[in-house]
Homo-oligomer: A and B are copies of this chain.
């Protein structure tokens, strides 16, 4: 039974679609079909939202590991994480049955549902969302136990993320907003079916399972030597095999992928600028 749902926007203060969805649902109410659910809509990092930045001091969505929550907070977002953990948690003992944290990305990832585990609930959820939104992508980040994740949504008993793109930071696009809302409603439809024990039997669906982040080629003094190849740009979740171009160096040479076939995503995400992350890789699987 999913009794308590919390929907969060503004974990990154310049990701506008989740912020606007929360504001709209706060102002106009959750759509009437879902009035029977207990839904709390919340903006998490108000200081970052007001400043129209991802974060003020450090990434709020990397503050929720057990280790970080156990130690004295050292920055504004760490203090906020401790306060949210107090309010919604503590992690591992939360009353929130499902925490939905809404994000957007400059990568052309379309409407992506990120789940942190592949247990029965999340498997059913993924299949249901994929059936309602065949264009949706399901990304499974279960390379570690859910409780070990640093994500805000990991405070909840169950935590998932909606990640939609492409949308520049600080910009609200109607198409991205629409995908975000449609995915949120698909999740709430699933919860209604789950609670009334009427989830249909659904076939396995395609998912992408995170492997690792790939960084840009860098010089010895840390300067980028290449950009994303135009053949890779905007092609999130399409397969890339050995020999296919992934980078274009600034002297005009393509650089190709070496290794097993991968499904790149978060291609050219603005927020990974400082880390020089070019894209993340995934395998394709069935859930």
> Is residue A220 contacting chain B, with contact meaning CB distance below 8 A?
no
> Is residue A144 contacting chain B, with contact meaning CB distance below 8 A?
no
- Asked if B273 and A173 sit within 8 Å, CB to CB, the answer is no
Point out the residues of chain B lying under 8 angstroms from A166, CB to CB. Answer: 168
Closest approach, in angstroms, between the C-beta of A31 and any C-beta of chain B? 11
CA distance A248 to B20 in the complex (A): 13
With beta carbons under 8 angstroms apart, the residue of B106, B172, B228 that contacts A174 is B228
Most buried by B among A20, A174, A250: A174
* Size class of the contact patch on chain A: 20 to 34
> Is residue A52 contacting chain B, with contact meaning CB distance below 8 A?
yes
Instruction: Please provide the chain A residues from 154 to 201 with a CB less than 8 Å away from any CB of chain B in the complex.
Output: 166, 168-175, 177-178
Closest approach, in angstroms, between the C-beta of A25 and any C-beta of chain B? 10
- Asked if B227 and A172 sit within 8 Å, CB to CB, the answer is yes
With beta carbons under 8 angstroms apart, the residue of B24, B178, B251, B270 that contacts A250 is B24
Instruction: Please provide the chain A residues from 71 to 104 with a CB less than 8 Å away from any CB of chain B in the complex.
Output: none
With beta carbons under 8 angstroms apart, the residue of B27, B175, B248 that contacts A230 is B175
CA distance A166 to B213 in the complex (A): 25
Point out the residues of chain B lying under 8 angstroms from A269, CB to CB. Answer: 171
CA distance A253 to B160 in the complex (A): 31
Closest to A165 in B: B168
Point out the residues of chain B lying under 8 angstroms from A177, CB to CB. Answer: 227
CA distance A228 to B173 in the complex (A): 7
- Asked if B172 and A169 sit within 8 Å, CB to CB, the answer is no
**Interface residues in chain A, defined as those with a beta carbon under 8 Å from any beta carbon in chain B:** 20, 23-24, 27-28, 52, 106, 166, 168-175, 177-178, 227-230, 233, 248, 250-251, 268-270, 273-274
